[in-house]
Amino acid sequence: MKLFPIRGGVHPEYRKELCSEKAIVSMPMPELLYIPLQQHIGAPAEALVSEGDLVKKGQMIARGQGTVSVPHHAPTSGRIKAVTQVIAIHPSGLTQLTIVIEPDGRDEWADLPAPIDDPFSVKPQEIKDRVAQSGIVGMGGAAFPSAVKLNLGIQLKIDTLLINGAECEPYLTCDDRTMRERADEVIDGARIMAHALGAPSVIIAIEENKPQAIEIMTRAAEAQPNVEVVGVPVQYPMGAERQLTQAITGLETPSRKLTADLGVVVHNVATARAVQQAVRYGRPLVSRVVTVSGEAIREPKNVEVPIGTPVAKVVEFCGGFTSEPARLVNGGPMMGAPLVSLEVPVVKGTSGILALTAGEVKERPASPCIRCGVCITVCPCGLSPVEMAPQIRKDHLDVAAKLGVMDCFSCGSCSWVCPSHIPLVHYFNYAKGMLAEMDREKKKVERTKALSEEHTIRLEKADEAKKAAMAAKKAEMAAALAAKNQAASAAADKANP
């Protein structure tokens, strides 16, 4: 299949060998599971249980709110210990409402929805409903509700379901192992999703540094005429949705539009597998494969982790730390978030837990920009970090917005390549957050102005109504007085002819 080049990008040290040959293993259930209500993009779920309730594995414990939301399910059977504020797996260190479950050790499944025996003969809506009620989100890390993404097939004509097996982040091998060990399930899930989207063809894109995965998936897809497995060049960020779409189709997704507008919908391999489990067995999303890696981890592994397991327990299962890590990362080293504490829970979008040594990170304090321009060469979005960063530093956020900082998806290529180790992505994340806050404040001011105007109008109307009533009353009284005077004068006339 003809492939197209993508712009920019870098070639970091991949270090996949730490984990790529380690098969997926299960870990023992921890003493407590913490299921946050917000693990996804969209509105947080609403808790359906309260302290003391008994739940079974796969039982829905939180219901989605609104159209862009997902439900959450109990990863095992047990008792609800509390529904309380617990530290979130988020760089801010803030807490969020979380359901705490105490496993009873029996791991009993609840009554699950019936398996859909022939998914290709049912209506697409039935598949989407099953995906929605199973709490499936994008498992590449974005955690966007998958059912909502499948709905794109309603208004747009989707030609291709592009399954993202690129896994371009260093260290991470969870998708690689999923493709090698669960190839049939992934392909089945992909075909089911394609049916739900109305897409005639499925392309599974895998970076060429995973030859075994390409081979195994190609063999598994041989029987399916509409499924093609394609090896894509190893280039970070090949796994980014728009870049992968460009590599496969040659088309650039216009700014502010979706890849679906080009007829392509992208889903992660693990998401496809989760859909297969939900449709074929009725099993909701209650666990995921997490790559635990980095030189500071004693035994790097790919672990099937129940959702809600504290990171500390996962690290313990992998032998603990060999030395104090210089950086603890949730996700990959290029786009992952720093882990604030080890007591945070693994959630549906946690693809990796990395414990990196100082030697692996190679951080240095920032030095002045020498305007070498390599950041421009590597930016996949065609932006100019060398110009945006000083504007942000000087608080000219409007200039930065004009230069296109909102287009940045924080891939990290520019910061990775900068010889002066300037925290470019940090500047852009700050700018994006600050611009969003300023936008919210502006909207609030506009709302306040509107309310104030309505208040003034209401008072004026009340005033006018009062005046009208007074005038009416006056007129009434005057008329009554006139009538009285007339009657009096008529009487006087009568008395004095």
Partner 1 sequence: MSKLFPSKTAPFAYSTNSVQKTMTTVLLALAPATLFNLYLFGWPAILLFAVTVGACAVAEASCVAVSGRPATSTLGDGSAVLTGWLLAMSLPPWAPWWTGLVGAVFAIYLAKHAYGGLGQNPFNPAMVARVALLISFPVVMTTWVAPHPLFSANAPGLADAFAITFGGKPIDAMSSASVLGFVKTELSRGIPVTQSITQVPNLMDMAIGYRVGSMGETSALLIFAGGLFLIARGIISWHIPVAVIGSLFLMGAVSNLADPARFTGGAIQVMSGATFLGAFFIATDYVTSPVSKQGQLVFGVGVGLLTWIIRSFAGYPEGMAFAVLLMNALTPIIDQYTRPRGFGRTRKGDPLPLKVNS
Partner 2 sequence: MLIDVGSLTVLGATLGGLLGVAARLLSVEEDPLEEELKAMLPGSNCGQCGFAGCGQAAVALAKGEAPVTLCPPGGKAVAETLALKLGVTADFSGMEEKGPEYAVIEEDLCIGCTRCIKECSVDAILGATKLMHTVVTESCHGCAKCFTVCPTDAIKMCKVPVTLGNWHWPKPDVGQMH
Q: Are 48 and 65 in contact (CB under 8 A)?
A: no
Binders in 220-259 for partner 1, by CB under 8 A? 242, 252-257
In the complex, the smallest distance separating the C-beta of residue 262 from partner 1, rounded to whole angstroms, is 7
Interface pick for partner 1 out of 194, 196, 214, 262 (rule CB under 8 A):
262
**What are the angstrom distances between the C-alpha of 120 and each of 116, 124, 277, 280?**
9, 8, 15, 12
Beta strands 287-293 and 352-356, pairing class:
parallel
Strand ordering across the sheet containing 46-47: 46-47, 60-63, 72-73
- x/- string (CB under 8 A) for partner 2, residues 23-62? ---------------x------------------------
Max alpha carbon distance in the chain (Å)?
Answer: 128
- x/- string (CB under 8 A) for partner 2, residues 345-384? --------------------xxxx----------------
Interface pick for partner 2 out of 455, 461, 467, 473 (rule CB under 8 A):
455
The residue type at 90:
H
Interface pick for partner 1 out of 41, 102, 423, 435 (rule CB under 8 A):
423
Contacts 24+ apart (CB under 8 A), 20-24: 20/173, 20/176, 20/177, 20/210, 22/173, 22/177, 22/300, 22/301, 22/302, 23/177, 23/181, 23/302, 24/177, 24/178, 24/181, 24/289, 24/302, 24/303, 24/304
Nearest-angstrom CA–CA distance, 206 and 215: 10
Nearest-angstrom CA–CA distance, 180 and 265: 23
Residue owning tokens 């992934």:
186
Beta strands 33-36 and 24-26, pairing class:
unpaired
Binders in 90-119 for partner 1, by CB under 8 A? 91-93
Dihedral, 269, 270, 271, 276 alpha carbons, nearest 10: 90
What residue 437 binds from partner 2, partner 1, none (CB within 5 to 8 A, per partner kind)? partner 2
In the complex, the smallest distance separating the C-beta of residue 464 from partner 1, rounded to whole angstroms, is 49
Beta strands 264-268 and 160-165, pairing class:
parallel
Residue 404 touches partner 1, criterion: CB under 8 A: yes
User: Checking phi first, is residue 495 left (phi over 0); if not, alpha (psi -120 to 50) or beta?
Assistant: alpha
- Only segment of 5-13, 177-185, 326-334, 451-459 that touches partner 2 (CB under 8 A): 451-459
**What are the angstrom distances between the C-alpha of 133 and each of 127, 138, 202, 275?**
10, 15, 24, 11
Angle between helices 183-197 and 211-221 (to 10 degrees): 60
- x/- string (CB under 8 A) for partner 1, residues 325-354? xxxxx-x-xxxxxxxxxx-----------x
What residue 226 binds from partner 1, partner 2, none (CB within 5 to 8 A, per partner kind)? none
Among 354, 312, 304, smallest CA distance to 334 is for 354
In the complex, the smallest distance separating the C-beta of residue 111 from partner 2, rounded to whole angstroms, is 33
Tell me, by CB under 8 A, how many residues bind partner 2.
37
Binders in 81-140 for partner 2, by CB under 8 A? 88, 90-92, 94, 96
Q: Which CB, 362 or 449, lies closer to partner 1? A: 362
Which DSSP category does 472 fall into?
H
Q: Which CB, 233 or 423, lies closer to partner 2? A: 423
What residue 233 binds from partner 2, partner 1, none (CB within 5 to 8 A, per partner kind)? none
Residue 365 touches partner 1, criterion: CB under 8 A: no
In the complex, the smallest distance separating the C-beta of residue 454 from partner 2, rounded to whole angstroms, is 7
Nearest-angstrom CA–CA distance, 247 and 3: 6
Instruction: Decide: helix, strand or coil at residue 323.
Output: coil
Interface pick for partner 2 out of 452, 485, 486, 489 (rule CB under 8 A):
452
Binders in 1-30 for partner 1, by CB under 8 A? 7, 10, 12-13
What residue 94 binds from partner 2, partner 1, none (CB within 5 to 8 A, per partner kind)? partner 2
HEC per residue, 370-399: CCCCHHHHHCCCCCCHHHHHHHHHCCCHHH
Residue 433 touches partner 1, criterion: CB under 8 A: no
In the complex, the smallest distance separating the C-beta of residue 87 from partner 1, rounded to whole angstroms, is 12
Residue 12 touches partner 2, criterion: CB under 8 A: no
Q: Which CB, 201 or 377, lies closer to partner 1? A: 377
Q: Which CB, 320 or 338, lies closer to partner 2? A: 338
Binders in 387-426 for partner 2, by CB under 8 A? 392-393, 422-423, 426
Residues that bind partner 2 (CB under 8 A): 38, 88, 90-92, 94, 96, 365-368, 392-393, 422-423, 426-427, 429-430, 432-434, 436-437, 440, 444-449, 451-452, 454-456, 458
